[in-house]
């Protein structure tokens, strides 16, 4: 079957052996807590995916990365969603490394060589809160940054080697506050993980609660951005969240693709319906790749992020239609004889829960296309 061949070839190129390893394990086992998915991902070199070649990584560009994530999601939705947060954090470090003289290059090389996993402590997942809202309270004490707060859900809560968290710090000139990113190594005194995720859907993503209590980190592990606490994105954040939207959208397209693949393999659905499913899901992926290709060729900034958001919201609608029609085409016996179909249909709906939500971005997108700067709700 040619369907998903391109994506699985990309996965084999950047993570040799991962596709076959995932394909050999039943979906229900891959999606449960303590799944082998993350272990296989690390063994295949997955953490290094977007680390540049000059820092010991394979340097996948945005197009290659979204193909990899679609392929992973078609095998294990939990693994794709968990590793999206890792890639988002690493891509932000890559962007920061081009702008500062900090320790980002050392972290990137460690991620690539040691297979480190990076969890994201941004406001992702917090209902009613802007994605740029700080998740941790930070104070400067005796030349160190002291962090208090919690992130729930936080993917990779158990397997992470490093946590990135959004904070605000006083400006270096003492006037006002700016956004910053704190890097907290696993095992730092005061960091604990608590149970949080009670759903069977995406349970393998390790989305638990991470709590920081008087956690001290040196100033070297704080990356200052150019943004103030007013929901305006600076270039570093814009690039990071552009990666986030593209990778997340491609992943949920991958979840829906797993259903389409089952319809194509069954060959019992009406040809017109099968063709319709193909047209819908492939057009959604082509749109993602279009934005990703522009990004790979230097198209960044607010316009690229607006394009990614429009692509993502359109894909949400496509994924919903494709999932419903795939379930209908597979029929009742496929639905009741295995949990896979119901599980994939449920997992595909979760793209709507990732920030920024369609409702929060409705007015900002209208304002942006009317000529105002893009604000992120």
Six-digit token pair at 134? Answer: 């700080």
User: In the structure, what pLDDT confidence band is assigned to residue 37 with cuts at 50, 70 and 90?
Assistant: very high
| pLDDT > 60? residue 214 | yes
**Can you tell me the distance from the alpha carbon of 84 to that of 240, in angstroms, rounded to the nearest whole number?**
11
Is the per-residue pLDDT at 275 higher than 90? yes
Distance CA(183)–CA(222), nearest Å, equals: 6
- Cα distance from N-terminal residue to C-terminal residue, the chain: 42
pLDDT band at 101 (very low <50, low <70, confident <90, very high): low
Q: Is it the case that residue 127 has pLDDT exceeding 80?
A: no
* Mean pLDDT (whole number) for 129-156: 83
The per-residue pLDDT for range 355-376, each reduced to its tens digit, is: 899 999 999 999 999 999 998 8
Examine the pLDDT at 124 and tell me if it is beyond 70. no
**DSSP H or E segment with residue 270:** none
Does 100 or 69 have the greater pLDDT score? Answer: 69
Residue 174 has pLDDT above 70, yes or no: no
Q: Residue 350: pLDDT above 70?
A: yes
Of residues 140 and 117, which shows the higher confidence score? 117
User: Do 216 and 146 contact (CB within 8 A), yes or no?
Assistant: yes
pLDDT of residue 118 exceeding 90, the answer is: yes
Q: What is the pTM of this model?
A: 0.93
Owner of token pair 């702008």: 99
Q: Which of 170-179, 275-284, 366-375 has the lowest mean pLDDT?
A: 170-179
Sheet order of strands, 118-121 included: 118-121, 162-170, 177-185, 222-228
pLDDT at 267: 77
Return mean pLDDT, the chain. Answer: 90
Mean pLDDT of 191-204: 95
Tell me which of 107-121, 212-226, 314-328 is least confident.
Answer: 212-226
pLDDT of 237:
75
Burial per residue of 69-108, b for 16 or more beta-carbon CB atoms within 10 angstroms, e otherwise: bbbbbbbbbbbbbbbbbbbbbbbbbbbbbeeeebbbbebb
Residue 204 has pLDDT above 90, yes or no: yes
Of the two residues 46 and 228, the one the predictor is more confident about is 46
pLDDT of the residue at 265: 92
pLDDT-derived band of residue 240, with 50, 70 and 90 as boundaries?
Answer: confident
Please, how many CA atoms are within 13 Å of residue 365, restricted to the half-sphere of its CB? 16
CA distance 245 to 291: 10
Residue 125: band (very low, low, confident or very high) from pLDDT cuts 50, 70, 90: very low
The percent of residues in the chain predicted with pLDDT above 90, rounded, is: 70
Q: Is the CA virtual torsion 183, 186, 191, 197 positive or negative?
A: positive
Cα dihedral across residues 143, 88, 127, 226: positive or negative: positive
Tell me how long the chain is: 377
Q: Is the separation of the CB atoms in 186 and 154 below 8 Å? A: no
Is the per-residue pLDDT at 23 higher than 90?
yes
> Which residues does 132 contact at the CB level (< 8 Å), separation at least 6?
122, 123, 166, 179, 227, 229, 231, 233, 237, 376
Nearest to 81 by CA among 281, 242, 244: 244
Of 56-70, 75-89, 232-246, the poorest mean pLDDT is in 232-246
DSSP SS3 for 260: helix
């Amino acid at each position: 079957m040619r369907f998903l061949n391109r994506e699985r070839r990309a996965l084999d190129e950047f993570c040799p052996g991962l596709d076959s390893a995932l394909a050999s394990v039943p979906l229900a086992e891959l999606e449960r807590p303590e799944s082998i998915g993350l272990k296989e991902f690390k063994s295949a070199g997955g953490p290094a995916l977007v680390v540049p070649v000059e820092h010991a990584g394979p340097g996948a560009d945005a197009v290659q990365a979204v193909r990899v994530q679609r392929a992973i999601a078609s095998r294990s939705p939990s693994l794709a969603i968990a590793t999206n947060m890792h890639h988002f954090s690493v891509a932000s470090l890559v962007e920061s490394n081009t702008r500062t003289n900090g320790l980002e290059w050392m972290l990137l090389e460690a991620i690539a060589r040691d297979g480190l996993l990076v969890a994201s402590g941004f406001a992702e997942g917090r209902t009613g809160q802007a994605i740029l809202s700080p998740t941790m309270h930070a104070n400067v004490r005796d030349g160190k940054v002291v962090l208090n707060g919690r992130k729930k859900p936080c993917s990779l809560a158990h397997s992470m080697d490093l946590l990135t968290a959004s904070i605000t710090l006083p400006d270096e000139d003492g006037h006002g506050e700016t956004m910053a990113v704190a890097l907290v190594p696993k095992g730092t005194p005061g960091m604990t993980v608590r149970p949080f995720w009670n759903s069977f859907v995406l349970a393998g993503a390790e989305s638990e609660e991470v709590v920081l209590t008087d956690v001290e980190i040196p100033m070297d592990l704080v990356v200052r951005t150019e943004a103030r606490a007013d929901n305006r994105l600076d270039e570093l954040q814009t690039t990071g969240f552009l990666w986030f939207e593209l990778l997340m959208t491609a992943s949920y397209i991958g979840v829906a693709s797993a259903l389409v693949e089952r319809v194509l393999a069954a060959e019992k659905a009406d040809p017109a319906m099968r063709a319709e499913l193909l047209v819908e899901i492939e057009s959604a992926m082509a749109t993602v790749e279009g934005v990703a290709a522009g990004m790979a060729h230097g198209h960044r900034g607010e316009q690229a992020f607006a394009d990614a958001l429009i692509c993502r919201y359109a894909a949400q609608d496509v994924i919903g239609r494709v999932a419903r029609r795939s379930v209908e085409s597979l029929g009742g016996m496929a639905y009741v004889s295995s949990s896979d179909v119901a599980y994939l249909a449920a997992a595909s709906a979760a793209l709507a829960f990732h920030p920024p939500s369609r409702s929060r971005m409705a007015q900002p997108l209208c304002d942006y296309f009317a000529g105002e700067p893009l604000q992120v709700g």
